A = this chain, B = another copy of it.
Amino acid sequence: MALINKERIEKLKSKANDLLNRSLDQHITLAVTGLSRSGKTAFITSLVNQLVNEGNGSQLTFFTPVHQEQFIAAKRISQKNNHIARFDYDNSMAAFVNQPPSWPKPTHGVSELRLAIRYKPKDSLLRYATDMATLTVDITDYPGEWLLDLPMLNQTFEEWSQQTVGLLLKSPRLGLSQSFLNKVKEIDPFDDANEGLITQLSQEYTQLLHTFRNDLGLSVIQPGRFILPGELVGAPILEFIPFPNFANIDANDYQNASDKSFIGMLRVRYVEYKERVVRQFYQQHFINFDRQIVLADCLTPLNKGAESFADLKQAITMILESYHYGRSSLFSRLFYPKIDKLLFAATKADHITQDQHSNLESLLNELIHRSKHELNYDAIKMKTLAIASVRATIAGKSLHQGQQVPVLQGRRSSDDKTITVFPGSVPKKLPNKGYWQESHFNFIAFEPLQSVSVHESLPHIRMDHVLEFLLGDKMK
């Protein structure tokens, strides 16, 4: 008995603890996506930064594990899937460390990062079993366009064409797409397909998608892989277009059309796209997600006008459709996704004054309001937040016509000048015609204001609320 000394007992105790820990350890997969240019890379970088630098000036008051001093430390560890690109945290942080700081480069495709968070369990059963527990967090970053493609799984080529052409025939797309549509309408859909012509038309359609996104600031871009082809660049599967003339062709003729006909070739490729691109994303990634963050920049559409804003609304509706499982659902034929929490975050809250934040949140709430009602509340918890992943402005007051008004100071992206402005008020509700006619809002893009060191926490707005919603319940 004398042989079992204190050191050995400690060792055994620690080993037992280790074993227990391992079985009690929790694991969660956070999926992060964003609608065009919502600041996905900055968001993930800040989220990781807040956790790994906790204590070094971090402001995470609303994150219960920090508030209640349960949080011990977080570190990056080897990611889950070696064949998936690594989310390049170091390079993204470097952008904020540089003098002067800048926004990190956007990512393309899917990337991963894994965090191990050590904490002291408090309220749960774990408390009595162990001193320390680990929550493993897999963050998966993927383009919002891939999420917007999911509803295609439930649509035939005819249905998808009608929906897509419906969009093309409305302002603001119509002006740009008219000549494309006219060209397609001239083709006899039952003629033998001219593959070169299909290539040409799909290139023209892809170019339209780029213009919709970059110049018009639109969110509904389908098929998403057309503008982010990755390894499929040059493959025929990315060469099809919506067919605008279903009203004028016979349904039987369409059903019987050979795969070698113009319409038949489009249909074949649409189906292959669904199977090889959309369903593959669904099965390899989507069904493994535990929680989803959707970032949306509501301010740019607000600035661009009614049509851009309506497009954002439609994009959000399409996204909610993907989560609307149950009786009449898209996913009845597929495995159920296991997502239990869905966070919509309106980013760039630092680009408006503090007094407008609650309006931004209400506005986002209104955007998802209708669809939210159709969601199965028991299955998915939803939340909306107005956030700034990395705060780029300083809030202040200025005297305007004898009154103290809130203003922002920041480094304007367009000319790198430090300016002080009041960007305007954000409507609390979905804006009506009157709002657009008066054009209240003046969105100005800012660069990050001050460099930080690699080990410092990035300034932010409500990233602690984000963490609380996404991770808080798993660290009790």
A interface residues, Cβ below 8 angstroms from B: 78-79, 82-86, 88, 90, 109, 111, 193, 195-196, 230-237, 260, 265, 268-269, 272, 276
Judge whether A236 and B195 touch: CB under 8 Å: no
Choose among B82, B84, B85, B195 the residue that contacts A78 (Cβ–Cβ < 8 A): B195
Given the complex of chains A and B, what is the CA–CA distance between A179 and B82 in angstroms? 27
Given the complex of chains A and B, what is the CA–CA distance between A233 and B84 in angstroms? 9
Query: Which residue of chain B has the shortest Cβ distance to A280 in the bound complex?
Result: B83
Given known contacts A90-B196, A195-B78, A196-B90, A235 and B83 CB-to-CB distance under 8 angstroms = yes
Judge whether B83 and A272 touch: CB under 8 Å: yes
- A84 proximity list for chain B (CB < 8 A): 235
Query: Which residue of chain B has the shortest Cβ distance to A265 in the bound complex?
Result: B78
Given the complex of chains A and B, what is the CA–CA distance between A236 and B196 in angstroms? 38
Judge whether A109 and B231 touch: CB under 8 Å: yes
Given the complex of chains A and B, what is the CA–CA distance between A272 and B230 in angstroms? 21
Judge whether A82 and B269 touch: CB under 8 Å: yes
- A235 proximity list for chain B (CB < 8 A): 82-86
- A195 proximity list for chain B (CB < 8 A): 78
- A237 proximity list for chain B (CB < 8 A): 82-83
- A193 proximity list for chain B (CB < 8 A): 78
Judge whether B86 and A236 touch: CB under 8 Å: yes
Judge whether A78 and B236 touch: CB under 8 Å: yes
Judge whether B231 and A82 touch: CB under 8 Å: no
- A233 proximity list for chain B (CB < 8 A): 85
Closest-CB distance, A416 to chain B (whole angstroms): 30
Query: Which residue of chain B has the shortest Cβ distance to A78 in the bound complex?
Result: B195
Judge whether A236 and B82 touch: CB under 8 Å: yes
15 contacts between A and B (CB under 8 A): A78-B193, A78-B265, A79-B236, A82-B235, A82-B237, A82-B268, A82-B269, A82-B272, A83-B232, A83-B235, A83-B237, A84-B235, A85-B234, A85-B235, A111-B234
Query: Which residue of chain B has the shortest Cβ distance to A269 in the bound complex?
Result: B82
Given the complex of chains A and B, what is the CA–CA distance between A442 and B232 in angstroms? 41
Judge whether B231 and A231 touch: CB under 8 Å: yes
Query: Which residue of chain B has the shortest Cβ distance to A85 in the bound complex?
Result: B234
- A109 proximity list for chain B (CB < 8 A): 231
Given the complex of chains A and B, what is the CA–CA distance between A49 and B373 in angstroms? 61
- A272 proximity list for chain B (CB < 8 A): 82-83
Given the complex of chains A and B, what is the CA–CA distance between A352 and B133 in angstroms? 72
Closest-CB distance, A183 to chain B (whole angstroms): 20
Given contacts A82-B272, A83-B272, A85-B234, 7 further A-B contacts (CB under 8 A): A78-B195, A78-B236, A78-B260, A82-B236, A83-B232, A83-B236, A86-B236
- A86 proximity list for chain B (CB < 8 A): 234-236
- A196 proximity list for chain B (CB < 8 A): 90
